[in-house]
C-alpha cells in the first residue's frame, strides 16, 4: 500500500482504474472509504465485498457515520482508528445490518491530506479459521488427555525451569497437588544436591538437546525417590523453546540391584563381606610402599569338632556368633570379612604392628567368652595370623597371603595363638612358592629323573626286582630330597603329574631294559603311589602306561603307604581290587608305622608287606621284635615281605633267619640310573637264570 502511494504520481491512469475496478467488484475483500464531513466521519464508498459482509444496502452505507459501524469504540477512540498521519490496525466489533456484532480485523490507511481513509475489514472468524482452531484444540485436548491419563509422570515446561503442566502420575509420585508445582514450585521436589544437575540438563534441553539426568525427588512426606528424568526439546514458533520431561522412578530397581550386588559380595550366613569384596576392599586401599594397612587372618580352632559333634546348625550358629563378636570388637571403619569356612579376615587402616597385635588380642579375648551351643558351653578359640604392610608388599593379594601364612604358623605353634609374619617366615614362604613353580617346570620338562634300587631274594641273594625312586637335581640348589618335594607336590596339586611321570618313565625303562638286555632285564619294578593318587583314575592310568610300553601287568608292583590306605579304607580297597584285577602286584609300604587294623589288612588284595627301615635298623641294637612280628604276620597271612634299609651283612643274615622274603638296601645295591641298572643286571641278572 505504501509503495503504491509513494509512486502514485507515476502510475498510469489506466492502471489506477484497473486496480480500482478489481477492488470495487471483489467479494473476498471488504473495502470502505471514510471521509470527514463537518465534525464527523462518514462512509463515502463501499465495495461489493463490504456490502456482502455487512448486509447494508450501498445507499445506506454511503452516508453512515463511521462510529455507527464500530459501536464499541468510545468517543475518543475513533481518532485512534482514523489517524491523520499513520495507518492503524485494530480488532473491533462491527455492526452488521441484522444488528449482530461481527469481530473483524480493521486496517485504516489515511490518504494524503488526512481527511479520507481506506478502511479494510477482515472477518477474523471465518469458517476456515474456525476449522483450524478446532483441529488445534482437538490436538491440544488429545495431548492433554494422553499425558493426563498416562502412568508416566510427565512435565511440560512453560519458560526456563517454569512448568505449565504436570500430570496426575507426577503428582502421585511426589505426593503434591498440581497447583503447588506449576511455575517454579516443582523445584522444591528436587533434592537440593541434585538441583544443579537438573538445571544443567534443562539448559541443554532448552538449547535443543535430548538429555537425561538421575535425580532424587523429595516426596511431600519426606521420602526420597530416585528417578531418571528425560528431557526433550519443544519449540513453539513465535513463542520460543520449552521442554517435555518424563520421569522414571528407579528407586525399586536400584534397591533390587543393590540387594543383588550385596548378595554377590556378602556371605548369606553371617552377612559379612565375602572373599570377593575383601579382595576389592584391600585392592582399593593398597598403595605400594605406603604402609599402614594390616590384615588379621583368623581360623577357628576345632570348628570341625563342633560341626561333627553338635551338627551343622550349631556350627552355623557358632559362625554367626563369631561374626557378631568380630564386628563388635574391631574399630569403626575396620573391615571384617568371611574368607571361607571357619576363616575370617579383618582389615585395618593406619595401624602399626603393635596396634594390629593389640587388636588380635582383643579379638581372641572376645571370642573366647563362652557361648551356649546345643546345650553345651563352647569357648571359641582362634589362631590369628597378623601381617602389617611393608615395603616388600608389591601387590594387595600378598597381604592376605602373608596373614594366611602367619595363621598357619600360629596353628603350627599350638592352637589359640597369635603369630606375626616376620621377615624370615615371609622369605621362607616366598622361597617355597618359588620352589613350587620350579617343581612344576621340572615335571613338565621331565627333569625329575628316576633311580632304580635292586631288590634281592633273601635266600638266593639274586636281584628279583627294582624300586623306582624319584630324584630332583635342581640346577641351582643341587639334589632335593623326595621328603621335601613329594609333600610339596602333594600340597600344591602337582602330585598327579609327578605320579604319572614316575609310572610312565618306569614302564618306559622296563621296556628299554627288555630291549637291551633281554632275559637279564629286571623282572619287575616297584612304583610308589601317593595317597592323593589313590582314586578311581589310578587303575586306568596304570593300564594305559602298561599298554603304551607293551608290558605285562605282572611287571609292575604298586607300593602304597600304610597311612594312605587308612585315610579312606573302603575306597582304597576298591581301587586296590581294580588294580589287582588288572594283574599288577600290590605292596604296603612302611608297614608297621601306621595304625592298620590287622583284621582289615586280611581283606586287602595285597601280595607283599614292606618292613620299614626303622625296624630293620633296630635289629643292630638287638631289638628285632617288631621286624620279627611283621614278618611272622605276613607269613601267616600268606604275604611275602621286603625288608628295606638293609645296611649290613648281619642285618641281611638276621632277616634271612627271621624269614623275610626279599631284601633291599645300600649294603646290597645302591640306587642307580636306568643305564647303570641295564649294565648291572647284565652282570648280576645272568646268575638268576
What does the binding site for another protein look like in residue numbers (CB under 8 A)? Answer: 56-57, 60, 64-65, 67-68, 71-72, 74-77, 79-80, 83-86, 88-91, 97-99, 158-162, 164-165, 179, 182-184, 187, 195-196, 199-200, 202-203, 206-207, 237-241
Phi, psi of 687 (to 5 degrees): -65, -20
d(CA 472, CA 453): 16
Least distance between another protein and beta carbon 185 (Å): 8
Nearest CB to another protein, comparing residues 163 and 496: 163
Least distance between another protein and beta carbon 319 (Å): 54
d(CA 376, CA 382): 19
- Which has the closest alpha carbon to 560: 524, 581, 590? 590
Phi, psi of 564 (to 5 degrees): -65, -40
Nearest CB to another protein, comparing residues 220 and 441: 220
Using an 8 Å Cβ cutoff, are 401 and 382 in contact? no
Least distance between another protein and beta carbon 140 (Å): 11
d(CA 316, CA 324): 12
- Which has the closest alpha carbon to 371: 314, 448, 455, 326? 314
Nearest CB to another protein, comparing residues 209 and 370: 209
d(CA 455, CA 166): 98
Least distance between another protein and beta carbon 95 (Å): 8
Nearest CB to another protein, comparing residues 97 and 269: 97
Show Cβ contacts of residue 642 under 8 Å, excluding neighbours closer than 6 positions: 455, 587, 608, 609, 610, 611, 660, 661, 662, 663, 664
d(CA 590, CA 317): 43
- Which has the closest alpha carbon to 122: 28, 35, 22, 4? 28
Least distance between another protein and beta carbon 180 (Å): 8
> H/E element holding 130?
helix 127-149
Least distance between another protein and beta carbon 249 (Å): 22
Nearest CB to another protein, comparing residues 77 and 647: 77
Nearest CB to another protein, comparing residues 90 and 216: 90
Nearest CB to another protein, comparing residues 200 and 444: 200
Least distance between another protein and beta carbon 78 (Å): 8
Least distance between another protein and beta carbon 53 (Å): 15
Nearest CB to another protein, comparing residues 10 and 86: 86
Using an 8 Å Cβ cutoff, are 349 and 336 in contact? no
Show Cβ contacts of residue 374 under 8 Å, excluding neighbours closer than 6 positions: 310, 311, 314
Least distance between another protein and beta carbon 119 (Å): 15
Nearest CB to another protein, comparing residues 97 and 138: 97
Question: Distance of CA 75 to CAs 70, 504, 567, Å?
Answer: 11, 125, 122
Using an 8 Å Cβ cutoff, are 342 and 302 in contact? no
Amino acid at each position: 500500500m505504501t509503495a503504491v502511494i509513494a509512486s502514485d504520481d507515476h502510475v498510469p491512469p489506466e492502471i489506477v482504474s484497473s486496480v480500482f475496478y478489481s477492488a470495487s467488484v471483489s467479494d473476498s475483500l471488504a473495502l470502505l472509504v471514510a471521509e470527514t464531513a463537518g465534525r464527523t466521519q462518514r462512509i463515502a464508498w463501499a465495495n461489493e465485498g463490504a456490502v456482502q459482509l455487512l448486509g447494508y444496502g450501498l445507499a445506506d452505507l454511503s452516508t453512515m457515520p463511521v462510529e455507527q459501524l464500530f459501536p464499541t469504540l468510545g468517543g475518543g477512540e475513533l481518532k485512534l482508528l482514523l489517524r491523520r498521519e499513520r495507518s492503524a490496525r485494530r480488532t473491533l466489533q462491527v455492526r452488521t445490518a441484522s444488528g449482530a456484532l461481527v469481530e473483524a480485523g480493521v486496517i485504516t490507511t489515511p490518504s494524503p491530506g488526512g481527511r479520507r481513509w481506506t478502511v479494510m475489514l477482515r472477518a477474523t472468524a471465518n469458517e476456515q479459521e474456525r476449522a483450524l482452531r478446532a483441529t488445534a484444540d482437538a490436538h491440544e485436548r488429545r495431548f492433554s488427555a494422553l499425558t493426563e491419563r498416562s502412568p508416566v509422570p510427565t512435565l511440560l515446561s512453560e519458560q526456563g525451569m517454569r512448568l505449565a503442566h504436570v500430570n496426575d502420575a507426577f503428582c502421585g509420585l511426589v505426593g503434591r497437588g498440581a497447583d503447588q508445582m506449576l511455575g517454579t514450585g516443582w523445584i522444591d521436589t528436587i533434592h537440593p544436591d541434585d538441583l544443579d544437575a537438573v538445571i544443567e540438563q534443562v539448559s541443554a534441553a532448552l538449547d535443543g538437546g535430548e538429555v537425561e539426568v538421575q535425580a532424587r525427588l523429595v516426596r511431600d512426606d519426606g521420602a526420597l525417590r530416585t528417578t531418571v528424568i528425560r528431557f526433550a526439546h519443544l519449540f513453539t514458533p513465535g513463542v520460543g523453546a520449552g521442554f517435555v520431561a518424563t520421569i522414571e522412578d528407579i528407586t525399586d530397581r536400584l534397591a533390587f540391584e543393590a540387594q543383588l550386588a550385596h548378595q554377590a559380595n556378602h556371605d548369606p550366613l553371617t552377612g559379612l563381606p565375602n572373599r570377593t569384596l575383601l579382595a576389592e576392599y584391600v585392592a582399593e586401599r593398597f598403595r605400594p610402599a605406603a604402609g599402614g594397612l594390616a590384615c588379621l587372618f583368623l581360623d577357628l580352632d576345632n570348628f570341625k569338632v563342633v560341626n561333627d559333634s553338635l551338627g551343622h546348625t550349631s556350627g552355623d550358629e557358632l559362625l554367626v556368633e563369631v561374626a557378631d563378636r568380630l564386628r563388635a570388637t574391631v574399630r569403626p571403619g575396620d573391615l571384617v570379612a568371611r574368607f571361607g569356612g571357619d576363616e575370617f579376615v579383618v582389615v585395618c587402616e593406619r595401624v602399626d604392628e603393635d596396634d594390629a597385635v593389640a587388636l588380635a588380642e582383643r579379638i581372641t579375648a572376645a571370642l573366647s567368652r563362652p557361648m551356649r551351643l546345643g546345650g553345651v558351653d563352647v569357648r571359641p578359640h582362634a589362631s590369628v595370623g597378623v601381617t602389617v604392610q611393608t615395603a616388600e608388599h608389591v601387590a594387595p593379594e600378598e597381604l592376605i597371603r602373608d596373614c594366611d601364612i602367619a595363621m598357619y604358623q600360629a596353628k603350627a605353634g599350638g592352637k589359640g595363638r597369635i603369630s606375626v609374619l616376620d621377615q624370615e617366615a615371609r622369605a621362607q614362604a616366598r622361597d617355597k612358592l618359588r620352589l613350587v613353580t620350579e617343581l612344576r617346570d621340572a615335571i613338565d620338562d621331565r627333569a625329575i629323573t628316576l633311580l632304580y634300587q635292586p631288590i634281592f631274594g633273601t635266600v638266593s641273594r639274586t636281584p628279583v626286582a627294582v624300586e623306582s625312586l624319584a630324584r630332583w637335581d635342581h640346577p641351582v640348589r643341587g639334589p632335593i630330597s623326595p621328603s621335601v618335594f613329594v609333600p610339596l607336590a602333594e600340597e600344591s596339586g602337582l602330585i598327579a603329574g609327578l605320579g604319572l611321570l614316575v609310572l610312565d618313565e618306569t614302564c618306559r625303562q622296563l621296556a628299554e631294559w627288555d630291549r637291551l638286555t633281554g632275559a637279564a632285564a629286571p623282572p619287575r619294578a616297584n612304583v610308589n603311589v601317593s595317597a592323593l593318587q589313590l582314586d578311581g583314575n589310578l587303575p586306568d592310568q596304570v593300564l594305559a602306561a602298561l599298554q603304551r610300553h607293551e608290558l605285562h601287568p605282572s611287571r609292575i608292583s604298586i607300593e602304597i603307604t600304610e597311612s594312605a590306605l587308612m585315610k579312606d579304607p573302603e575306597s582304597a580297597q576298591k581301587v586296590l581290587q581294580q588294580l589287582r584285577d588288572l594283574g599288577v602286584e600290590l605292596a604296603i609300604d612302611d608297614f608297621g608305622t601306621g595304625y592298620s587294623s590287622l583284621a582289615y589288612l586280611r581283606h586287602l588284595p595285597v601280595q607283599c608287606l614292606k618292613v620299614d627301615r626303622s625296624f630293620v635298623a633296630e635289629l643292630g641294637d638287638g631289638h628285632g621284635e617288631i621286624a620279627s612280628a611283621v614278618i611272622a604276620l605276613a607269613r601267616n597271612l600268606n604275604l611275602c615281605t621286603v625288608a628295606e634299609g638293609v645296611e649290613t651283612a648281619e642285618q641281611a643274615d638276621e632277616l634271612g633267619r627271621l624269614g623275610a622274603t626279599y631284601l633291599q638296601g645300600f649294603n646290597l645295591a645302591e640306587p642307580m640310573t636306568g643305564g647303570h641298572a641295564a649294565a648291572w643286571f647284565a652282570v648280576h641278572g645272568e646268575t638268576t637264570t
